[in-house]
Amino acid sequence: METNTQRTKLLLAEDDAMLASLLKFRLEKEGYEVVLCIDGKEMKEELQRALPDVIISDIMMPYFSGIELVDYVRNDLGSKVPIIIISSAGNEQNVLSAFDLGANDFLSKPVSPSELVVRLQREMSKA
C-alpha cells in the first residue's frame, strides 16, 4: 500500500448531493483528500479550522454563496489558496464577480469530473 504524506486537501462545497458525491468519489480516486461541505456555512466553519490546498465551490449555495466565499478567503483570511468556482449556465455576472474577487478558475455545470481533475492539476502546478 502506497503512503502519500503530501496528499492534496480539497474543500468541496456543493449543495447538489448527487453531484457532490460524484465529484468526491472521482477526486478521491485521483488521490485527493476531500472534505465535502453541503453549504456555505459549513464551508466557512471548515475554513476557520484549517485552510485546504484548493477550494472548489458552487456559486449558488445556502447561507453563504460562492462569491461571498471568495471574498472571505481573499480578504478576511488573506489567503491565496486556489479557488475553482462551479456554476450553472446563465450566471455570467456571478462568475465575473467571483473572478473580480480573486477566483482562479471556473467550470460550468454540468461539470465533467475529468475536466475538473485537469484544472485542479493545473492550479496545483502553479502553486
**Residue 77 sits in which domain range?**
9-126
The answer to whether residue 40 is domain-embedded is: yes
CA dist., res. 59 & res. 88, Å (int): 8
State the total domains in the chain. Answer: 1
CA-closest candidate to residue 99, choices 80, 111, 85: 85
Three-state secondary-structure class, residue 29: helix
Which CATH number covers residue 22? 3.40.50.2300
pLDDT score of 11 more than 80: yes
* DSSP one-letter string for 57-111: EESS-SSS-HHHHHHIIIIIS-----EEEEE-TT-HHHHHHHHHHT--EEEESSP
pLDDT band at 120 (very low <50, low <70, confident <90, very high): very high
pLDDT band at 89 (very low <50, low <70, confident <90, very high): low
pLDDT score of 3 more than 80: no
pLDDT score of 87 more than 90: no
Neighbour-count burial of 103, counting CB atoms closer than 10 A to its CB (0-12 exposed, 13-18 middle, 19+ buried): buried
Tens-place pLDDT, residues 37-47:
998 899 999 99
pLDDT band at 29 (very low <50, low <70, confident <90, very high): very high
The answer to whether residue 85 is domain-embedded is: yes
The answer to whether residue 2 is domain-embedded is: no
